[in-house]
């Protein structure tokens, strides 16, 4: 007997249909899986055999051959357990699948026949919908995640018996649905609010500009000046995720296996803060079959690198290309995958190893060679890619003792949202969503400046020794500052403020 059941594989953040073909014939008793399976898929033989027997079903004592087509694409992961089992049961006529060409199965089996959750269900179900499938059977724990996709019926099952009873008509499973509006309405108001930050008005202004244009930021200052405190509050002023952005982020988190069953869709912008001991593979992604790293997990959100010089320099250098392209490509022997990473990079650092260089209250104890060695961990090309670099100074006692509250994150966020809407309208149809994404060819059209502005920028370019990349990034930041003031044209004051945010790379790294 021959049967065909459908499942789905993953390549990067996209799924592809896999036809599970089972042939049962007379001959020496065996159970073989072909079609370029990895070790996890090959081990499915024992899980499937035990799950079938322990569910009160019959596993054939014949020659069983399972082919995963297309055979030229590598299949990996335990999500093929369920479709292989259903295919074997269908071939032995213990179960009859109605409309098998439009039905997909995803899930891992335990030896007792229960169905366990697997990562990457959301991109697989999206692929199933795009390929014209009408039904998908998934593990019960993945039900909310799968039901995010509209237009396809999702049937969650706890064990193999549930599926058998469904197709026999004894106990049909009910399609599962979720209320997406409820998840988006439950966006938590962060307990970390900018109104708790005393003083530092110039830094708050710089961070508002960064949020409005999605610009990268570097905060430099002595310990205790509030760098981390300010960074932790950044996510509270970023614009809300759109549904499309949310789906992109959720797909990445689903593949990485960090998606919560209780929160099937990521409704808030990610804030990732990896420890400085992270490896290059941990940052960009890696493994035999590459998995998303911190860069991709922060997609459409913030990647915060605290104490930037403490990171291995080789790790920091891998940031350069992804920051330019908004994507990271990982090449391995078995696969070459590309993951999106359109992020806002936030970083903080001390001005020297002891942290008190230039501090008016404490004396620096570092030698010139120690200072040089400390700063050399941050390369010029990486620094060039950080649009806004600001010095965070100590807070006055009068500001700390004042009971006056500053602007709340909600008030700042209103201005950021208004500015982002201006950008979305301006770049409609260009597949970019913020000023930071402007390409070199777009600068002449969207960042035009007059004679006075050009003269100011020319003087800054020559006196500060700026690069061509720094020149274009100053124009992008100036465009954002103009948008915050709802100005159609970039003026001298906008250029001057943008230049001010670039001066630190010459003050500290000359």
Q: What is the per-residue pLDDT across 227-248, written as a single tens digit (0 to 9) for each?
A: 999 999 998 899 988 888 899 9
Task: Provide the CATH number for the domain around residue 12.
Answer: 3.30.230.10
In a domain, 396, yes or no: yes
Task: Specify the pTM.
Answer: 0.88
Tell me the pLDDT band of 87, cut-offs 50, 70 and 90: very high
| Half-sphere exposure of residue 423: CA atoms within 13 angstroms, side-chain side | 29
Residues 322 and 158: their CA atoms lie apart, in Å, by 41
Residues 173 and 200 in one domain: no
Q: What is the per-residue pLDDT across 473-498, written as a single tens digit (0 to 9) for each?
A: 999 999 999 999 999 999 999 999 99
In a domain, 189, yes or no: no
Residues 253 and 169 in one domain: no
User: Among 177-181, 298-302, 317-321, 322-326, where is mean pLDDT lowest?
Assistant: 177-181
What is the predicted pLDDT for the residue at 360?
Answer: 79
Cis peptide leading into 135, omega within 30 of 0?
no
Please give the tally of structural domains in the chain. Answer: 2
Residues 8 and 409: their CA atoms lie apart, in Å, by 43
Residues 17 and 117 in one domain: yes
Task: Provide the CATH number for the domain around residue 326.
Answer: 3.40.50.300
For 27, residues 6+ apart whose C-beta sits below 8 A from its C-beta are 62, 63
In a domain, 289, yes or no: yes
Residues 255 and 361 in one domain: yes
User: Among 42-51, 192-201, 365-374, 445-454, where is mean pLDDT lowest?
Assistant: 192-201
Residues shown for the chain: 510
In a domain, 292, yes or no: yes
Residues 208 and 170 in one domain: no
Higher per-residue confidence, 510 vs 343: 343
Residues 368 and 356: their CA atoms lie apart, in Å, by 13
Residues 303 and 343: their CA atoms lie apart, in Å, by 7
In a domain, 322, yes or no: yes
User: Which of 119, 152, 178 delimits the end of a domain?
Assistant: 178
The two tokens of residue 191 are 């307990």
Residues 114 and 240 in one domain: no
What is the predicted pLDDT for the residue at 463?
Answer: 86
Residues 53 and 49: their CA atoms lie apart, in Å, by 6
Domain that includes residue 313, residue range: 194-507
| 68 contacts 32 by C-beta, under 8 angstroms | no
What Cα–Cα distance (Å) separates residue 403 from each residue in 35, 197, 230, 410?
69, 11, 19, 20
Q: What is the per-residue pLDDT across 6-55, written as a single tens digit (0 to 9) for each?
A: 999 998 889 999 999 999 999 899 999 999 999 999 999 999 999 999 99
User: Which of 178, 202, 229 delimits the end of a domain?
Assistant: 178
Residues 353 and 431 in one domain: yes
Residues 200 and 114 in one domain: no
What is the predicted pLDDT for the residue at 426?
Answer: 93
Higher per-residue confidence, 455 vs 505: 455
């Amino acid at each position: 007997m021959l049967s065909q059941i459908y499942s789905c594989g993953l390549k990067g953040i996209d799924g592809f249909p896999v036809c599970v073909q089972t042939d049962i014939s007379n001959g020496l008793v065996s159970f073989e899986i072909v079609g370029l399976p990895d070790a996890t898929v090959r081990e499915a033989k024992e899980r499937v055999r035990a799950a079938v027997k322990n569910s009160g079903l019959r596993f054939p004592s014949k020659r069983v051959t399972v082919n995963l087509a297309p055979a030229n694409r590598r299949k990996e992961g335990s999500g093929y357990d369920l479709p292989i089992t259903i295919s074997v049961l269908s071939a032995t006529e213990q179960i009859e699948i109605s409309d098998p060409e439009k039905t997909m199965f995803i899930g891992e089996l335990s030896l007792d026949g229960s169905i366990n959750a697997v990562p990457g269900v959301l991109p697989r179900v999206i692929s199933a919908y795009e390929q014209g499938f009408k039904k998908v059977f998934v593990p019960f724990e993945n039900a909310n995640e799968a039901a995010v996709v509209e237009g396809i019926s999702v049937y969650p099952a706890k064990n193999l018996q549930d599926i058998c009873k469904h197709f026999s008509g004894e106990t049909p499973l009910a399609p599962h649905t979720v209320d997406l509006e409820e998840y988006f309405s439950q966006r938590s108001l962060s307990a970390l609010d900018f109104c708790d930050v005393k003083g530092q008005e110039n830094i708050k202004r710089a961070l508002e500009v960064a949020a409005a244009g999605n610009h990268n930021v570097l905060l430099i200052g002595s310990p205790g000046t509030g760098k981390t405190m300010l960074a932790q509050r950044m996510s509270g002023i970023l614009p809300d995720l759109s549904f499309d952005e949310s789906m992109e982020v959720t797909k990445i988190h689903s593949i990485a296996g960090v998606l919560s069953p209780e929160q099937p869709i990521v409704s808030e912008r990610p804030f990732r803060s990896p420890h400085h001991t992270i490896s290059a593979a941990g940052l960009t992604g890696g493994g035999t079959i590459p998995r998303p790293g911190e860069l991709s997990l922060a997609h459409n959100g913030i990647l915060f690198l605290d104490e930037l010089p403490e990171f291995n320099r080789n790790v920091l250098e891998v940031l350069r290309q992804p920051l330019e392209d908004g994507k990271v490509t990982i090449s391995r022997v078995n696969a070459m995958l590309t993951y999106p990473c359109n992020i806002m990079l936030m970083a903080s650092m001390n001005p020297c190893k002891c942290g008190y260089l230039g501090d008016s209250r404490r004396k620096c104890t570092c030698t010139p060679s120690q200072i040089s060695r400390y700063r050399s961990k941050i390369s010029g090309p990486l620094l060039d890619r950080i649009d806004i670099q600001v010095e965070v100074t100590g807070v006055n006692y009068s500001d700390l003792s004042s009971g006056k509250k500053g602007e709340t994150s909600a008030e700042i966020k209103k201005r950021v949202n208004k500015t982002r809407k201006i950008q979305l309208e301006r770049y409609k149809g260009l597949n970019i969503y913020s000023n930071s994404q402007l390409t070199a060819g777009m600068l002449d059209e969207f960042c035009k400046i007059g004679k006075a502005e050009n003269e100011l920028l020319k003087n800054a370019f020559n006196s500060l020794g700026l690069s061509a990349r720094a020149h274009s990034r100053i124009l992008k930041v100036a465009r954002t500052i103009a948008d915050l003031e709802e100005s159609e044209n970039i003026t001298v004051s906008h250029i001057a403020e943008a230049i001010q945010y670039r001066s630190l790379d010459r003050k500290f790294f000359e």
